């Protein structure tokens, strides 16, 4: 807490508050607090961006401004207190405080009601510590209402969201975890009778507590825990597409990716090396570099831009109306006969199949650089297993910048739906980074079925490892 100052109100206009020797000025970008030393000279000026202002209130006696102060690239909840000598309830001061709050929150809802799920085993097991140290103080300073649940087992978060009768009263579901927990939450909601209504209306966000944290990187453009907490407080609602994945008689909801082949193996088959953190993926890659696996498959794709009527030759399909439940599968499931309008291809020597709807699939891999999360399309990249070790290394070196799409060996496209039928009977397949059974699967995009929060205008991008 900063040093307390004794002041009296002499407000001169709506954006400026003179309180004895202090001037509080609301300018274009934020609040400036100046100490007036002599008649015309101001010193000790402090600037607080509106983005960083968490809360402000004036009681009869004092004005308190809570804000997120940045030190060593980490945000900490702090406050300034000014004594108002019985004048805090004056309309002028109350109007100034309201103006500060209006500018601090803009289009974002203030005092959010947050439902928080904490996975104590995410990543290297530090999510709980990170939450209490970096997120909770900011949420409390911003006067958020917190309903916190620590998950006790796999499937716990799914059960909680399925049974929660007040879920639509919350302003965001905050997963303090890797990407596994948001996947679980979304699929838990998908089992409710009002799944469509909840998915479309209640934002799901992530504080980066796991090893991948793709949801946070894509939406908040940060791997910093404290910045992600601030962007949750100040986040703006943003609809996103979700994807149905049908496999056998099951239907999963995917928000991030589907992966078959080399990359899925590097992720799933190195889970016993979790102690290596992010490096386990690189170890898996090196192990397969000189003999990449071959995942021959039949691929069928539906591209809505070339075929204007997706329903024409699929009699079983229904319109994707804004129902309260989960949307109907417009293209049927993986068990249905393929519509004639779909393009069929045979890829006998496929090595990598990766599909996703966000640019980043983890904190550093920009696999789909021009993907848009709300365009009704899923990006697919495919690479042949015969690409060769040297080209494979080139490809991976280019992925962080997203330059790999320029390589002749990388086939990229955007589709509205697709089906993969593998030739082999065993192999690696993941949905949103979670292992799924190796069987034929079909994916269709549900435009803007999901909801999340994104950073407000003016937020910085930082994808480094700080808190
Ligand atoms: N208390 C718990 N014990 C064991 N597993 C849990 C618990 N709580 C949640 N889980 C499961 O842990 C899985 C992985 O969670 P999460 O994604 O948060 O961490 P991660 O695997 O470290 O991160 P990433 O997905 O980024 O690699 C989820 O599928 C979830 O179901």
Domain annotation for the chain: domains and CATH numbers? 5-105 (2.30.29.30), 113-241 (3.40.50.10330), 244-447 (2.60.200.40)
Averaged pLDDT in 10-residue chunks for the chain of 467 residues: 43 75 92 79 82 95 95 94 80 93 96 97 87 98 98 97 96 96 98 97 96 93 95 97 97 98 91 75 89 95 62 40 82 94 96 97 93 96 95 94 96 97 94 95 97 82 55
- Tally: H helices and E strands in the chain: 11, 24
Alpha carbon of 371 to ligand 1 centroid (Å)? 26
pTM for the structure as a whole: 0.91
Alpha carbon of 181 to ligand 1 centroid (Å)? 6
- Please state, in angstroms and rounded to a whole number, the distance separating the CA atoms of residues 248 and 47: 58
Residue nearest to atom 29 of ligand 1 (CA): 180
- pLDDT on residue 271: 77
* Atom nearest to 152 CA in ligand 1: 1
- Please state, in angstroms and rounded to a whole number, the distance separating the CA atoms of residues 446 and 329: 9
Which regions of 72-112 does DSSP assign to beta strands (E)?
74-83
Cβ of 178 below 6 Å from ligand 1: yes
- What is the full DSSP assignment across 260-315? EEHHHHHHHTTGGGGGGTTHHHHHHHHHHTTS-----EEEEEE-TTT-S-TTTT-T
Best residue for ligand 1 mutational test, from 131, 178, 183 (most atoms within 8 Å of Cβ): 178
Closest CA to 63 of 53, 72, 76, 71: 53
- pLDDT on residue 1: 42
* Atom nearest to 434 CA in ligand 1: 29
Q: 23: which residues sit within 8 A by CB, 6+ positions away?
A: 16, 17, 32, 33, 34, 36, 42
Which regions of 22-181 does DSSP assign to beta strands (E)?
22-26, 30-36, 42-49, 53-58, 62-71, 74-83, 113-118, 145-150, 172-177
* Atom nearest to 177 CA in ligand 1: 18
Alpha carbon of 149 to ligand 1 centroid (Å)? 14
Secondary structure (3-state) at 447: strand
- The residue assigned the tokens 């570099």 is 289
Structure tokens at 457: 């205008």
Residues paired with residue 245 on neighbouring β-strands, in sequence order: 252, 443
- Please state, in angstroms and rounded to a whole number, the distance separating the CA atoms of residues 363 and 281: 13
Cβ of 119 below 6 Å from ligand 1: yes
Could you give the count of Cα atoms lying within 13 Å of 371 in the half-sphere of its Cβ? 33
Cβ neighbours of 28 (radius 10 Å): 6
Cβ of 212 below 6 Å from ligand 1: yes
Which regions of 104-163 does DSSP assign to beta strands (E)?
113-118, 145-150
* Strand (E) or helix (H) holding 253: strand 250-254
- Please state, in angstroms and rounded to a whole number, the distance separating the CA atoms of residues 128 and 146: 15
Structure tokens at 302: 């539906």
| CA 73 to chain CA mean position, Å | 20
Closest CA to 116 of 135, 142, 138: 135
Query: Are the CB atoms for 456 and 236 separated by under 8 Å?
Result: yes
Cβ of 154 below 6 Å from ligand 1: yes
Alpha carbon of 124 to ligand 1 centroid (Å)? 11
Cα-based distances in Å from 393 to 56, 265, 287, 387, 404: 53, 16, 13, 10, 11
Best residue for ligand 1 mutational test, from 116, 152, 180 (most atoms within 8 Å of Cβ): 180
- Please state, in angstroms and rounded to a whole number, the distance separating the CA atoms of residues 67 and 48: 8
Query: Are the CB atoms for 392 and 289 separated by under 8 Å?
Result: yes
- pLDDT on residue 36: 78
Closest CA to 224 of 239, 241, 207: 207
- pLDDT on residue 19: 84
Cβ neighbours of 340 (radius 10 Å): 9
Best residue for ligand 1 mutational test, from 120, 122, 205, 267 (most atoms within 8 Å of Cβ): 122
Structure tokens at 99: 């103006």
- Please state, in angstroms and rounded to a whole number, the distance separating the CA atoms of residues 74 and 83: 29
């Amino acid at each position: 807490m900063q040093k307390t100052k004794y002041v009296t109100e002499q407000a001169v206009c709506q954006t400026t508050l003179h309180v004895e020797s202090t001037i509080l000025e609301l300018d274009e970008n934020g609040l400036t607090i100046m100490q007036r030393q002599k008649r015309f000279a101001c010193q000790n000026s402090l600037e607080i961006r509106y983005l960083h202002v968490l809360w402000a209130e004036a009681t009869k006696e004092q004005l308190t401004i809570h804000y997120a102060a940045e030190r060593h690239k980490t945000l900490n909840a702090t406050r300034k207190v000014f004594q108002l000598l019985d004048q805090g309830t004056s309309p002028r001061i109350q109007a100034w405080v309201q103006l500060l709050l209006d500018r601090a929150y803009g289009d974002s809802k203030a005092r959010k009601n947050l439902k928080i799920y904490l996975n104590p085993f995410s990543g290297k097991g530090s999510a709980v510590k990170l939450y209490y140290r970096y997120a909770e103080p900011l949420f409390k300073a911003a006067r958020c209402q917190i309903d916190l649940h620590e998950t006790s087992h796999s499937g716990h978060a799914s059960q909680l969201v399925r049974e929660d009768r007040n879920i639509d009263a919350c302003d965001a579901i905050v997963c303090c975890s890797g990407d596994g927990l948001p996947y679980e939450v979304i699929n838990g909601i998908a089992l409710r009778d009002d799944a469509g209504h909840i998915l479309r209306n209640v934002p799901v966000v992530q504080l980066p507590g796991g090893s991948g944290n793709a949801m946070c990187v894509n939406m908040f453009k940060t791997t910093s825990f404290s910045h992600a907490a601030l962007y949750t407080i100040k986040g703006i609602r943003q609809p996103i597409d979700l994807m149905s994945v049908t496999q056998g008689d099951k239907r999963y909801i995917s928000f991030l990716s589907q992966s078959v082949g080399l990359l899925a193996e590097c992720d799933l088959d190195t889970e016993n090396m979790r102690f290596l953190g992010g490096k386990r993926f690189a170890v898996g890659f090196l192990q397969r570099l000189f003999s990449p696996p071959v995942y021959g498959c039949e691929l069928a794709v539906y591209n809505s831009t070339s075929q204007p009527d997706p329903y024409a030759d699929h009699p079983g399909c229904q319109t994707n109306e804004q129902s309260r439940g989960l949307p109907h599968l417009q293209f049927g499931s993986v068990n249905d006969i393929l519509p004639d309008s779909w393009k069929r291809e045979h890829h006998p020597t496929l090595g990598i199949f990766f599909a996703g709807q966000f640019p980043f699939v983890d904190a550093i891999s920009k696999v789909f650089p021009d993907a848009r999360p709300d365009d009704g399309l899923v990006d697919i990249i495919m690479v042949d297993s015969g690409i060769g070790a040297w080209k494979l290394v080139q490809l991976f070196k280019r992925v962080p910048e997203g330059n790999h799409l320029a390589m002749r060996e990388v086939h990229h496209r955007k589709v509205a739906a697709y089906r993969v039928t593998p030739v082999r009977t065993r192999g690696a397949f993941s949905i949103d980074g979670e292992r799924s059974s190796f069987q034929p699967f079909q994916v269709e995009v549900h435009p803007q079925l999901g909801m999340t929060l994104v950073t407000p205008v003016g937020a910085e991008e930082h994808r480094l490892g700080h808190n």
